[in-house]
Structure 1
Amino acid sequence: MWTLLCSFLLSLSAQENSLAEYLKKAYTARLKANYDLNLSTLKEAEQLKGHPQDPVLLAKLNTELSKQYLVNADYSKAKEYANKCLQLGQRIKNRTVEAYGYLAIATYYNYLDIGDLAVSNAQIALKLAKNWDYSLKSRAYYILYGVYSSWDDEVLSKKYAQLTILTARENADNEMLANAYTAYATAMQFHYEKTKKRQYLDSMKLYLHKSASVYKKSPEQVGVRTYSIANINLANYFFEYQPLHKQSTQDSILFYADIAKKLAKASDKNYTITGNVNGLLAEIASLQGKSRLAETYLMDSYTQLTKAATPSYYTFSNVAQGLSDLYAKRGDFKKALFYQKKKEVFTNKIFDERKMLQAKKLEAQYENSKLSEDIKIAAQKADSQRTQNLLLTGICLLLVISICLLVNSFKSKTKLQEEKSRRLQQEKQEAERNAELGLKMQAEEQARLQAEQQLLLLQKDQMQKEAMADALQIERKNRLLLQMKDKLQKLETEQNRGYVEKIIKEEMRLEETVERSAKEFKSINPAFFSKLKEMSNDKLTPLELEHCAYLRLQLNTKEIAAAFYIEPKSVRVSKYRIKQKIGLDKDTDLDRFLQELS
C-alpha cells in the first residue's frame, strides 16, 4: 500500500512539472515573438492526460490560451477559456484560481475596450489574490493602467503604472517590468500634455530608457516586441518633442527607429511597428530633401503590408496617403490618384473593423447585463425561499408547542381540562391561520414573479417591433433609391453612363457612416470644414477632416486613438501632417488653433 501511494505521488509531481515546463516553453516562445510555437505548446499542454493537475497551473494555462486567442481575433475562443478558468475556481472554491479567471475576463473586456467591465473584474481579481501573489497582482494593475490610460486619466494611470512596477520587481518579472516602465512614461506624457511642464517630458524619456535597459541587462527575460515598442516610443519622443531641424534630433530618431525596425521583423505580424518606423524614416528623408529615399521607405511598408496575413489597415491608409502626397508633390498625378483610391479602400476596411469590434462590444455588454439580471433574480428567489423556510419553521414550532400543551392537559386536574382544551383549540386555529397566511404570501410572491416575467416579455416584444420598424424604414429608403435608379438610368448618355448607379451605391454604403457620425458632429459649424479646406487648398482627406472635428470637440489623443482603433502614436503623426497641410509652424498648438478657428 505504501509503495502504491508513493508511486501515485511521484507521478502527480511529474505531471505537474510537465505542465509547468510546457508553460515555461510557451512563455519563452512568446518572448521571442514565435507566436505559432507559443500557441501550439499551450495546446499540447491542454492535451496532457493522466493524474489530476495543479489547479493553479491549469488556471495559468487557460488564461494564456484566452490571451493568445484574443491576439488572433478569435473572441469566442478567448471568452470560452476565460470562463473555463473562472468556473474551475468557483467549482473547487480556490481563491487563486478564481482570481485568474476574473483576470482573464478583465483582459478580454479590456481588449474589446469595455473599460468599466475590465475595471470591475480586475478589482475582483485583486481582492481574491493573496498578498504574496505578485505575478497576478502586477497583471491586474497593468490592466487597470491600460483602462485609465485609454480614459486619459493621468492620476490613476500613473498610480497603477507605479503599482505595476513595484509588483513586477517583487516578482522579478523583467518582461512586465519593462512594460511597466513604458506605461509610466506614457503617464508622464499625459501630465506633460496637461501642464506643459518640462519635468514630465524629461521623466518620459528617462522611463523609456529604463524600459530599454531592462532588455539590455536580461535579453532572455524580455520580449523582443516589448523592446521594439520602447525604441519606437523613443524615436517618437524625439520626433514630437525635439526640434526636427537639428541634426542631433534627426540622428536620434534614425538610431532608435533602426533598432525598432530590426527587432520588429520577427514580432510585427500586422506590420504596425515597422509601418510606423518607415513612416518616421520617410518624414526625416523628406526633411533632408531625399524624396527618392522617402519613396523607398513608404513603398517598403506598402509591399510588406500587402503580404501580411492580417495587416493594420490604419497603417495601410497612412502609407497610401503618404505615397499619394509624395507623388502629388512630384507632379505624378496618375500615381497620386492611384494611391489616393487605395487609401479610400483601406479607410473602408477600417470602418468594417470598427463595426465588427462594436458588435463584439455590444454582445459582451448584453451578456454582462443578462448575467447581472440572472443574479438579481436568483437573489430574489433566495429571499423568497428564506421567507418560506421561516414560516414553515414557525408552523413546526407552533405544532410542537401545541403537542406539549396537549400532553400537559391530560396531566392536569379534571376541573381545568375543559379550559385547557379550549386553549389548545385556539392555538391550533392560530397555527392554521399562520399556515394559510404563509401559503397566501407564497401565492402572492409567485403572482408577482409571473407579472414581472410578463412585463419583461412585453418589453422584449416592444424592442423587436421598434427594430422591425427601423428595418422597414431602411428597406423603404433603399427600395426608393433603386426605383430612382431605374428611372434615372433611362436618362443616361454615353458621357455619364454608370454615374447614377455609382451615386446610388455610395449613398447606400455611406448611410451608416452618416448616421453614426451625425450625432457627434451636429454641433460643429459647417464653416469650420470650409475654412480648413480653404487653408489646405483642399488637401485634407475626409479622415483628416474627421480627425480635426474630434480635436474641435476637445477629444484627447487617447480618445481619438480609441475612436479610430489605432495607436496613439499614429494619431500624433496624423496631427503633424495636418499642421503641414494647413501651413502651421511647429510651435503652433493644433488643438488650440482648431478651438479658436471661427
Structure 2
Amino acid sequence: MELYHKILKISENDNAFKDITALTYNNIGSAYENLNKIELAEENYLKAYTLTKDDKNIYTIHKLIILNNLSRIYENKKQFVKALAIEREAKELIKEDDKKQFSNNTNALEIFYKTEQKNQKIKQLEDKNKNFAKQRFYFISMTLLAILGLVLLFFIFRFRLKINRQKTNLLEAAKNKAELILQLEKQEKARLKAEQELLTVQQEQLQKKALATSLHLDYKNKFIKDLKDSITEKGDINFEKILKEDQLNDNDFYEIENVIEQVHPNFFKRLKELTKAKLSNLDLKYASYIYLNMDNQQIANILKADPKTVRVTKYRLKLKFGLTKDESLQNFIQNLDL
C-alpha cells in the first residue's frame, strides 16, 4: 500500500500518467478485495472507473479490467442492477473496440488490395504475351495432379480405415473370448473349491458324529457291565431305579453330544497337526471334554471311570502334545488357533 500511494503522489496530478493512476487505484481495490474489505475495494475501483470512463487515450484492455472488477464487487454486494449496467458498458466497449479494429483492418486491406491490383496489372501487361500459355499449361497440370492426388489419398484413407476397423473388431473378439474363458475358469475353480469345502465339512461332521456315537457306546457298555456285576453280586436289584438313572444319564449324554456337535470344524484336524504321535479315539474324547471345560470329576462321571484314571490319561495326552510340566493341557486345548 505504501508503494501504491507513492505512485499516486507522482502520477495523479499529471494527465499524461492518467492510465497509470487508474491502474494503481485498480490494484489498491484488488488488495482491499483480497482482504475482504469490500467497501474500500469499491471506492478505489470507482476512482479508477471515473478516470478511464470518457478518456479515449486509455487502453481498452485496462478499461475492461476495471469494469470487470467493479462488476464483481456489485455482484458480491447483491447489487445486481449496477453489476448488469457495468457489464453492459463493458460489452459496448468491446463492440466499439471491435468496430474500430475492423475499420482499421478494412482500410488497410483496401489500401493493400489497390496497391497489389496496380502491381498485378503492370505485371500482367509486361508478361502477358510471354507467359500466358506457359502459366495456363502449368495451372492445368497442377490442377489435374492435385485432383488425382486427392482421389488417391481418399482411397488410401478409406482402405486404411477399413483395415483398422477389421483389426479393432478382431482384437475386440479375441478380448471377449479371453474374458469368457477366464470367467469360465474362475467359475470352475469356484465350483471345485465349493465341492472340496463341502466334502471337508461332511468329513468333519462324520468324525464328530463318530466321536459322539463312540462316547455313547462306551457309556452303554459301561452301564451293561455295571448292571451285570450288580446282578452277580447282589441278586436282588431294583431295575426300575437303575433304568431311571440310565434314562437321566442318557439325557445328560445327549446334551453333551449336542455341545460336541458344535465344536469348531477344524478342532480335530488341528489337534492331529500339533502332535507327531497318533491320537486314539479316547484321546480325542478327552480333548473334547477338556475343550468343553469339564473337570476330572465330570469326565469320570461320564465315562464311569476312576478320577485317578482320568488324571493319568490326561497326563499321557499332555506328553503327546509335547507340553512341559508347567504348561496347562486345558489352556493349550481351549486356546487352539482354529
TM over 0.5: no
Larger radius of gyration: 2
Higher relative contact order (CA 8 A, sep 6+): 2
**TM-score, normalised on structure 2?**
0.32
Q: Give the structure-1-normalised TM-score.
A: 0.20
